[in-house]
């Protein structure tokens, strides 16, 4: 890989303002750059850039997002640190994935590499939803570029799931509550269990423990 390429790539990405819903310019840039690097590039209906190289196994997906939250931050370099909107979340990871693919190819790597830059990750994730709705590739490995605070591959990270619980029990007469299970008490036990899990995770417990 030519000297200084990773930094130049990142700076180019940061200079393009690309909040969710306004990814057209950065999509065009990524398409041109990935084609220049030897990838077969396509842009889908929602604006995702999908770049493929090679055939066979292993089949590896390298996925990042090209959009950022809103708000402009002047791109600048101070020593070895680069500042700009998306410098952390997540144009640096996207640039790293592209550079990793480039180096793998240059060093004679085998198999199939797919670099996917999705839109709207900071919004409603319509880019990833669209990709998954039509994806038929059986990938052997998938690496997603997101900031984690770890200088290594991260196998699990925080997320959010919205659920609705309905606690139902058989009702009984108020004169004999001991004969029936109270739905409120059942719900309280569930909440207490979730609190225990949260406290355990906060203390460094097993993030993959099944509730």
Domain final residue pick, 144, 174, 199: 144
- Cα–Cα distance for residue pair 77/179, rounded to 1 Å: 70
* Same domain membership, residue 78 and residue 50: yes
- Mean pLDDT estimate for the chain: 93
> Has residue 150 got a pLDDT over 80?
no
Last residue of a domain, one of 144, 177, 200: 144
Both 139 and 164 in a single domain?
Answer: no
Residue 134 predicted with pLDDT over 90: yes
pLDDT average, residue stretch 131-141: 95
94 has a pLDDT exceeding 80: yes
Domain membership of residue 42 (yes or no) is: yes
Residue 129 has pLDDT above 90, yes or no: yes
Q: Is the pLDDT of residue 126 over 70?
A: yes
Of the three residues 144, 174, 192, the one that is the final residue of a domain is: 144
17-46 pLDDT, tens digit per residue, is 999 999 999 999 999 999 999 999 999 999
Q: 167 lies in which domain range?
A: 160-211
- Provide the number of structural domains found in the chain: 2
Instruction: Find out whether 170 and 180 touch, Cβ atoms under 8 Å.
Output: yes
The DSSP-derived string for 69-120 is: -S-----EEETTEEESTTTTTTHHHHHHHHHHHHHHHHTT--SEEEEEEES-
pLDDT of 151: 78
* Residue 154 located in a structural domain: no
**What pLDDT is stored for residue 197 in this prediction?**
85
> 211 pLDDT band (50/70/90 cuts)?
low
Residues carrying an active site annotation: 67, 121
What's the CA gap between 83 and 94, in Å, rounded?
A: 15
Cis-peptide, bond into residue 58, ω within 30° of zero: yes
- Average pLDDT value for residue range 170-199: 90
Under the banding of pLDDT at 50, 70 and 90, the label for residue 121 is very high
């Amino acid at each position: 890989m030519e000297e200084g390429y990773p930094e130049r790539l990142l700076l180019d990405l940061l200079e393009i303002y690309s909040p969710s819903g306004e990814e057209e310019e950065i999509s065009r840039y990524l398409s041109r750059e990935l084609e220049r690097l030897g990838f077969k590039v396509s842009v889908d209906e929602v604006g995702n850039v999908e770049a493929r190289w090679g055939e066979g196994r292993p089949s590896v997906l390298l996925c990042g997002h090209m959009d950022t939250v809103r708000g402009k931050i002047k791109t600048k370099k101070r020593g070895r640190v680069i500042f700009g909107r998306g410098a952390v979340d997540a144009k640096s990871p996207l640039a790293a994935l592209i550079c990793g693919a480039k180096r793998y190819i240059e060093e004679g790597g085998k198999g199939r590499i797919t670099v996917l830059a999705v839109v709207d990750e900071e919004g409603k994730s319509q880019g990833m939803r669209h990709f998954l709705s039509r994806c038929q590739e059986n990938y052997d490995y998938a690496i997603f570029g997101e900031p984690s605070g770890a200088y290594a591959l991260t196998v699990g990270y925080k997320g959010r799931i919205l659920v609705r619980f309905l606690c139902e029990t058989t009702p009984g007469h108020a004169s004999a509550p001991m004969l029936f299970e109270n739905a409120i008490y059942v719900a309280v036990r569930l909440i207490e269990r979730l609190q225990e899990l949260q406290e355990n995770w906060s203390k460094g417990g097993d993030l993959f423990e099944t509730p």
